[in-house]
Amino acid sequence: MLVSTYHPLRTPHEFFLWQDPNDPRRALLYLSTPGYFGGSLLVTDISSAREGVFREVASWSTAFPDPGTNDDLHSLSVSPDGTRAYLAFLTAGFFVLDTSVLAKGLPAPAIRLVTPLANRVRWPGAGPHSAVKVPGRDLVLTTDEVYGGIGPDAGCPWGWVHLIDVSDEPSPQIVSEYRVTPYNEEAYCDEVSGERNVGSSFSSHNPTVTEHLALVTWHSAGLQLFSTSDPARPTQLAAFVPEPLSSVATEDPALSSGPDQVVMWSYPIIQDGLIYVVDIRNGLYVLKYHGPDEGEVASTGFLEGNSNLSDGS
């Protein structure tokens, strides 16, 4: 049943849902709105959505002193208490905002930088696609998404994970990377076929994290589950790559038109100890994890990467 319809001031791309832990009746949508010079971030109070009331309470943008090729806000996450936002700004990099005034519900809220732009974290390639804070630790996990194709930001070696230390928020630092071998190694690109390079993607996409585990959808490499216990050495613990359907109505030209017909996509959802994940070509999968730190999954009532609706927050 349709409850209500909201037409934002600007066209959104992705969103993060934040529910006030002190007042569950209050909720904010943090919307990335790439491509708009007047603002990259739009925040809307949806507390009265059932009555058809949507209040756009804040907008934020910035100009980068040293622009990249695609400086758009792709995605973000917000700390459970609502005081910090962690931004995945593609070639502009990763940095942190202070959103305390929004968490408090103050009038005319002004969002401010915590990380000076000169200190934002950047690396070659497409840049951060998603950024999720690891609960209970000064650590943020980012993913890069790279499609199949030809060019500097397409095809092999695709995209992977960075772990970022945010103990000093004004000066975050990359701690390590997690790649899927051999697909994300530059040496592999010398032997990858043209069909796979253009029509497949062995790239990270969306993450959900517990205190010591990361669950990341990885397009053709399925669901990757790895340990962040030692943030300097993330270690694979499990992977699930489904058997693809024999055929579908339409293949994605950049993700499944090559030899690989697996396209894991969604933020993994943990509910009552089970993992729910969507492959946009092959469907929904429900999984159970057995391995190190399995209790962090088994004891979780609900957790996902693009909201703070978690019993583990």
pTM: 0.95
Residues making up the chain, counted from first to last: 313
Query: What pLDDT, in 10s, does the model give residues 224-250?
Result: 999 999 999 999 999 999 999 999 999
Structure confidence at residue 312 as a pLDDT band (50, 70, 90): low
| 229-237: Cβ within 8 A, 24+ apart | 229/292, 229/293, 231/137, 231/139, 231/163, 231/165, 231/175, 231/176, 232/175, 232/176, 233/176, 234/161, 234/163, 234/176, 234/177, 234/178, 236/178, 236/180, 237/213, 237/291, 237/292
pLDDT digits (tens, 9 = 90+) for 183-221: 999 999 999 999 999 999 999 999 999 999 999 999 999
pLDDT value, residue 39: 64
Query: pLDDT, tens digit, for every residue of 135-166?
Result: 999 999 999 999 999 888 899 999 999 999 99
In degrees, to the nearest 5, what angle opens at C-alpha 308 toward C-alphas 174 and 302? 110
Do residues 208 and 304 make contact, with C-beta atoms less than 8 angstroms apart? Answer: yes
pLDDT score recorded for residue 313:
42
Mean pLDDT on 266-279: 98
Distance CA 128, CA 164 (A): 11
pLDDT in tens, 81-96: 999 999 999 999 999 9
